[in-house]
Amino acid sequence: MTEEHPFAQYIRTLGKGRQGSRALSRQEASDAMGMILSGKVEPVQLGAFLMLLRVKEETPEELAGFVSAARNSIGVPEAAVDIDWSSYAGKRRQLPWYVLSALLLASRGISVLMHGVSGSDERVYAAAALASLGIKPVSSAEAAVSRVKEKGFAFVEFASLSPQLQKIMDLRSLFGLRSPVHTIGRMLNPAKAALSVQGIFHPGYLDSHQGAAQLLGENLIVFKGEGGEAERNPDLVCKVKSVIDGHPGEEEWPALFAARHVKDEEMDASRIGKLWRGEIDDEYGRMSVIGTAAVVLKYHLRLSSLEEAERMAAQWWSGRDISFAARVA
């Protein structure tokens, strides 16, 4: 009789039928992900594990365990970073204007570590948006922390943070489905920044992110952003879930326009740099930048009202230092 593989217990826990299966505990999830990241799992086991989780959907306890194991595998020391900004979806209808929100905050002394993926599909990702400003990704987690300390802003590719997790994420082309790694990336917060800013596409994940942040003891804001990114759509009401100092919360931010804007047919990333430098004006882009910055300011600075946050963001945008991007590059 062949001896059972140590990882089989986790697959069995998830897949033992309608009556016998259950979610993993936080410790089980951490142990399972630790085995995956240390190469102790067979490919067929990995596929079964990921798809069982995909069908069931991850619990907050599972996410907290997965994230803890992922951070341990990266080994980035805790750093004095204000904002962790995840970017894992890419944009198809509107440009990734949120990168200007992040730079606007960084230019005012609120440090930002942004991490995410790039792609070869029709989406426009953060890397392309930042390239329009002359800003390139750094090469490692350590370099990202160093750059944030020195410049106030850095962007690092997910593959540079964790090549193992990137390989698992790339399995999407084989499965035809996302896996828990997409959520792990969003929640990674490798430097344990004071506030994690996350965007999701499926509203059902709002509660999962919020619950996991509570278990991890971290401050977080998460909302259904435009295209699944952490970007407020100024055409729509935005529901923001939060965890601040251990307390969960929820607020609705009103739409900033009465009528919806049409899809951006050009999707020309160079316009992002032009808007920052004042060479063009784009009504949708400008209000997306201001609206997104306002959401982050409200929770990071513990402002008393949405209106105060929006006024501050608008003032910061009007008086922005356009040379900041060049200094970060």
Where residue 43 sits, what CATH number does that domain have?
1.20.970.10
Residue 151 included in any domain: yes
Q: pLDDT exceeding 70 applies to what percent of the chain?
A: 100
Please tell me which of 76-85, 177-186, 235-244 the model is most confident about, judged by mean pLDDT.
235-244
The answer to whether residue 287 scores a pLDDT higher than 90 is yes
202 C-beta neighbours (distance < 10 Å), count? 11
Structure confidence at residue 325 as a pLDDT band (50, 70, 90): very high
Question: Distance between CA 22 and CA 152 in Å, rounded?
Answer: 44
Domain co-membership, 119 together with 243: yes
The torsion angle over the Cα atoms of residues 287, 220, 89 and 145, rounded to 10 degrees, is 100
Domain co-membership, 234 together with 199: yes
Domain count of the chain? Answer: 2
Question: Distance between CA 288 and CA 117 in Å, rounded?
Answer: 21
Residue 15 included in any domain: no
The answer to whether residue 79 scores a pLDDT higher than 90 is no
User: Residue 2's pLDDT is what?
Assistant: 82
Domain co-membership, 103 together with 220: yes
**CA-CA-CA-CA torsion sign (123, 128, 129, 130):** positive
Cα–Cα distance list, 95 to 156, 229, 272, 323 (Å): 19, 11, 8, 22
Which residues form the domain of 64? 20-74
Domain co-membership, 44 together with 132: no
Which pLDDT tens digit goes with each residue over 108-123? 999 999 999 988 788 9
Tokens in use for 49? 């594990």
Domain co-membership, 118 together with 44: no
